[in-house]
Structure 1
Amino acid sequence: MKNIIVILAALSCIGLLTSARLPDTGPFPAARPGESNTAAPAPQLPPIPEPKPERGKTEAPPIKQGPPNSSGVPEKQGPKLPSQQTLEEQHLTIAAESDAEHSQCERELQVLGVVFKDIPRIDDGNGCGIDKPIKVSEALPGIKLQPEAVFRCPVALALARWMKESVIPAASAAAMDQGRIVAVNQASSYICRLRNGAETGKVSEHARGNAIDIASFSFEKGKDIAVQPRREDSTLIGAFQRTISAAGCLYFMTVLDPESDAAHETHFHLDVLERNGGYRYCH
């Protein structure tokens, strides 16, 4: 009987143990003085650092953009091309001239009978000017240059040689009845400006004292012979102009005549701009 009671008691304890379970929440640890007994917030992860550029590589600078165009899209801005620069933006300087070469040039002018005088150095700023300018009043003896012209000595020398060796002989054949040439009428010599008087672009050779524009020739008798479009002119005067235009490139580095473009319809542009390899531009 006692054994049966013991067995029943044991079975009862086992049933109690199998039905027992842990509580849903456990006890919090005792809080320290001055602290709350609430649960601590979850720890925050540190921010992810930005990747560093690879060694030897740098980030490209941001592209500068200009104001939006008509389509609303900003236009990229870069350095101005020479054709977009004003005279002030080109930072030009006046070229120095050799004393020896200038003296030799003036001696040759004197031999040819050119009437001229030295004038003070010209510096109008922005690279406009002439280191050793001269003022010419007669292109050759008895042939006035009107109005008087200012430029470098090599221009006067090329003009005198062209007149003596090409223009005067051609005029004698084409306009014999008008007598000899008494004046060369020039439209421009030294002047500070860009080519063709534009607001931007390359500097004119006139601004460096390297050029002269010829508008017409005056004779003892008859009318002046004006420089004008004569490509289709079948007269002796047309032949005269075409002849002296072609001959001009024997003396000048650049010859632009009325057939070149609209800017030169009323004159010859003659200059002594030196180019690589002695290249000459004749049109």
Structure 2
Amino acid sequence: MKLRGRRAGRVSGNMALLLMLVSTAWAQTPTAPLPPPRPDRPVPTNPEPQTETPPATETPVEKKASEDNNAHTACLESLSKLGLRFETRPPVQEGRCSIGNPVLLSALANGIEVAPASLMACPVAESLARWMSEMVAPEAERQFQSTPTKLLIGTSYQCRDQRNGAKLSEHALGNGVDVMGFEFAKRPPLTIASQPESSPEANFQSAIQKAACPIFNTVLGPGSDADHGDHLHLDLRERKGDYRICQ
């Protein structure tokens, strides 16, 4: 019985040793490496370098043309909002004389007729409308208790030099108009001229001539020189330093 017990102990010990050797061998067995994660997109074998396309840039001429077109569109919208009656006309080119985007103006706000219908650059039409509504109509009501019904135009666009021949006239660019007078609802017409001193006509004419100076860049009329004794010359000529002539 005692021998049998020793044998059983040796068998048990051998089994334990065998299990230990098997476990050690299993632990030392190298494991296979995991495959790398699959990329979302296949990587090209020879990728081409990506270059950014530079944004297109306008030339100075193209930029100026774009700005002029935008300004003209805004001006036409303004004429419509002010209630003017006008027609757009094709560009004028007559030797050195030209108008890029002319309009034919036939009436101002409140149905004030422009007689005759006159060709001019859009900003001139816009300035005339402002002058008539803000200055001329209120002054006519103050001096004559009447409203103007017609603006009488002598010259708008005309291809010519200045009277002294020094340079091209603003009329040749559609940039100026000559106002000859007005008609009213309740009184006789008024023609621009030397008026009797202190008369309602003199007060009216003097007031509207001065009131044109903040709106137009050139204002010439009776008393300025011999050439402007019978009309008001109004233009938008640009000068250095925003210099204006008001006489």
Match of 1:61 in 2: none
Percent of residue pairs bearing the same amino acid type: 38
In the aligned structure 1, how far is the partner of 2:201 from the partner of 2:140?
Answer: 8
In the aligned structure 1, how far is the partner of 2:129 from the partner of 2:236?
Answer: 13
C-alpha contact 1:115 1:141 (8 A) present in aligned 2: no
In the aligned structure 1, how far is the partner of 2:239 from the partner of 2:226?
Answer: 24
In the aligned structure 2, how far is the partner of 1:234 from the partner of 1:244?
Answer: 15
Match of 2:39 in 1: none
Q: Of 107, 125, 145, which residue of structure 2 is paired with 1:156? A: 125
Match of 1:140 in 2: 109
Calculate the aligned-residue CA RMSD, in Å: 1.5
Secondary structure of the residue that 2:141 maps to in structure 1? helix
Match of 1:192 in 2: 159
Number of residues of Structure 1 aligned to a counterpart in Structure 2: 183
Letter in 2 for 1:205: E
Q: Does 1:124 align with 2:94?
A: yes
In the aligned structure 2, how far is the partner of 1:235 from the partner of 1:241?
Answer: 10
In the aligned structure 1, how far is the partner of 2:187 from the partner of 2:137?
Answer: 16
Match of 2:229 in 1: 265
Secondary structure of the residue that 2:188 maps to in structure 1? coil
- Going by fraction, where is helix more abundant, 1 or 2? 2
Match of 2:188 in 1: 223
Match of 1:246 in 2: 210
Q: Does 1:281 align with 2:236?
A: no
* Moved beyond 3 Å, runs of 4+: none
Shift of 1:222: 2.5
Q: Does 1:212 align with 2:182?
A: no
In the aligned structure 2, how far is the partner of 1:274 from the partner of 1:141?
Answer: 30
In the aligned structure 1, how far is the partner of 2:154 from the partner of 2:80?
Answer: 24
Q: Of 83, 86, 90, which residue of structure 2 is paired with 1:113? A: 83
Letter in 2 for 1:279: Y
In the aligned structure 2, how far is the partner of 1:111 from the partner of 1:280?
Answer: 28
Secondary structure of the residue that 2:108 maps to in structure 1? strand
Write out per-residue CA displacement over residues 171-197 of structure 1, whole angstroms, 9 at most, x where no aligned residue: 001111xx321100000000000112x
Q: Does 1:236 align with 2:205?
A: no
Write out per-residue CA displacement over residues 39-92 of structure 1, whole angstroms, 9 at most, x where no aligned residue: xxxxxxxxxxxxxxxxxxxxxxxxxxxxxxxxxxxxxxxxxxxxxxxxxxxxxx
Q: TM-score of the superposition, structure 1-length normalised?
A: 0.62
Letter in 2 for 1:249: C
Q: TM-score of the superposition, structure 2-length normalised?
A: 0.71
